[in-house]
Amino acid sequence: MPRELTYAEALREAMREEMKKDKNVFLIGEDVGQGYRGCFAVSTGLYEEFGQKQIIDTPISENTILGCGIGASLLGMKPIVEMMFEDFISVAFDGILNQAAKVRLMSAEQYKLNLVVRLPGGSKNGTGPQHSQCLESIFMSIPGIKIVCPVTPHDAKGLLKEAINHEDPVIFFEHKKLYSLKGEVPEEEYTIPFGKARIAREGKDLTVIAVSYMVNVALEAAEILKEKHNLDIEIIDPRTLVPFDLETVGKSIKKTSKTVIIEEGIKRNGVGSEISSLIMENLFDYLDFPVKRIASRNSIIPMSPLLEKEVIPNKESVVKQIEDLLIL
């Protein structure tokens, strides 16, 4: 029988394997070691196995945490920086924008940062305005960094192992609702290269490009639409937003001639804006009508779970918008 792990367990296994292979790999962040073992328990057991040299607890100071990661990486180490919540990366934004992203160029490639910044994000039952955001689009505008957003446990492990040994800084987005998700994860060694999308569901009537947890929402919506209208929807999980696999998207659009992009970030200047521009610039002749974007309202995310549901896409709202688009 294939082995199953949760998303959190897959991330933990990736870190454990890389720490065993290379003493320069270490995890640093708030409460990642003794006691709490990370806000979402991803690092459970790692402190007991590797000790305080590879599992480093820090004060509540995101700017300092990231600065330590950048400095260690400049000295040839491979830090994994964990921010307790994605939202808190704003405190350390200068470290990403003006430091980590620019080291390779400004040092004439004397330095290449093996730096991973793990960001748990997204909504989860009313975590509120400062703990629920999806900020991928902000980082897409920064040259010099890679952006990864795995959906399955298999991809979480393979992409994290690739990120740990990558020579550019990697922003690694982890949606909070995915941590308990189970899936098959091989025991043998493997990595997943950046820039290679996954076909999460094959279809012929519509191409849906979904980001992070919205892949699962899209899969649920696709089953409903198949049952109600016999629509056969293809769903693409980009895996990485930078680099972005336009080739796989292009093959799908040439087959379906229609596309919808779904993300949890807000619609204004979102991930969908960039992807739709790439499609319109490169695949316009294959489209029957313009790209449709489905995203969160241009709103601060409310604390109330009921109001949150009105802001963020869900399977019901996705079904309704696709019906409005395709069903006459």
CATH number (domain holding residue 118): 3.40.50.970
pLDDT of 2 higher than 80: no
pLDDT of 235 higher than 80: yes
Residue 74 lies inside a defined structural domain of this protein: yes
Cα distances from 116 to residues 270, 275, 324, in angstroms, run 23, 24, 41
- Residue 261's CATH number: 3.40.50.920
The helix/strand/coil state of 171 is strand
Residue 190 lies inside a defined structural domain of this protein: no
Residue 11 confidence class, pLDDT cut points 50, 70, 90 = very high
- Is the same domain home to 99 and 27? yes
- Is the same domain home to 13 and 161? yes
Give the pLDDT confidence score for residue 252 in this predicted structure: 98
Average pLDDT over residues 287-298: 96
pLDDT of 35 higher than 80: no
Reference 39, options 131, 105, 170; nearest CA is 131
175 is catalytic: no
Annotated catalytic residue, options 131, 154, 166, 175: 131
What would the pLDDT profile of 207-232 be if each residue is shown by its tens digit?
A: 999 999 999 999 999 999 999 999 99
Domain coverage including residue 116: 4-184
pLDDT of 328 higher than 60: no
Average pLDDT over residues 108-124: 94
Average pLDDT over residues 67-88: 96
Residue 191 lies inside a defined structural domain of this protein: no
* Amino acid in position 296: S
Q: Decide which of 154, 184, 214 is a domain's last residue.
A: 184
Residue 180 confidence class, pLDDT cut points 50, 70, 90 = very high
pLDDT of 1 higher than 80: no
Residue 254 confidence class, pLDDT cut points 50, 70, 90 = very high
Reference 103, options 67, 128, 139; nearest CA is 67
> Do the beta carbons of residue 192 and residue 106 sit within 8 Å?
no
Number of domains in the chain: 2
Give the pLDDT confidence score for residue 158 in this predicted structure: 98
- Is the same domain home to 137 and 90? yes
- Is the same domain home to 179 and 204? no
Give the pLDDT confidence score for residue 99 in this predicted structure: 95
Reference 136, options 259, 248, 8, 264; nearest CA is 264
Residue 192 lies inside a defined structural domain of this protein: no
